[in-house]
Amino acid sequence: MGVGLNVRSQMVDEVRDVLLKIPEATTGAFADRLRVAQRVFTYGVGREGLVLRGFCMRLFHLGLDAHVVGDMTTPHLGPGDLLVTSSGPGYFSTVAALMGVARASDGKVTMLTANPGAELPGKADDVIVIPGQTMATGGGERASIQPMGSLYEQAMWLYLDYVVLRLAHRLGKSFADMSRRHTNLE
């Protein structure tokens, strides 16, 4: 396969098509859950985890009490807290274990996934479907020209940045407010 402008345009179109399939009501409800949570914890594996780390940083920039699961300073999750996790294919054992901890601690769970009919999304309080090809989408016809879960991960990144914009508006935060919370230790 030759890689050029046509492939780049196809990639952009793929991500755009996935993003436009996510209902606005879903986004508004998610922004509200984030706004009222005492603390927000994020967790994902692989590239999904990298996306959620970036999302957690933006939540912190908005002034939310946000933490990445596994960091040394991550506090105890409890009532009023929200775990935001991702399992594009619908199941990862570490995500299942952390969902169990959140549930046992009276926390809430929001899951991003491309496979809402899988086991883990059925155990979440809220599910956000990002209908892009994941690593588990295999065999037969592929929905994306990109490898493995790239489409899901890219759409997830842009979707979560959109959620941050919606949340910033609801919180009355400007980009200058967010910049003041950015680290100066870089």
What is the per-residue pLDDT across 7-52, written as a single tens digit (0 to 9) for each?
A: 989 999 999 999 999 999 999 999 999 999 999 999 999 999 999 9
pLDDT digits (tens, 9 = 90+) for 123-174: 999 999 999 988 877 444 457 888 888 899 999 999 999 999 999 999 999 9
How high is the mean pLDDT of the chain?
Answer: 93
How much is the average pLDDT of 51-66? 98
Where do the H-state alpha helices sit in the chain? 5-20, 24-36, 46-61, 93-104, 150-171, 175-180
Residue 141 has a pLDDT of 46
Distances (CA, A) of 36 to 29, 80, 120, 128: 11, 8, 24, 18
Predicted TM-score (pTM) of this structure: 0.93
Residue 142 has a pLDDT of 57
Residue 36: how many CB atoms within 10 A of its CB?
9
How much is the average pLDDT of 77-89? 97
Domains, the chain, in order of start with CATH, read 34-135+143-174 (3.40.50.10490)
Find the catalytic residue in 24, 48, 141, 153.
153
Concerning whether 153 is annotated as a catalytic residue, the answer is: yes
DSSP 173: -
**Encoded amino acid at 136, one letter:** A
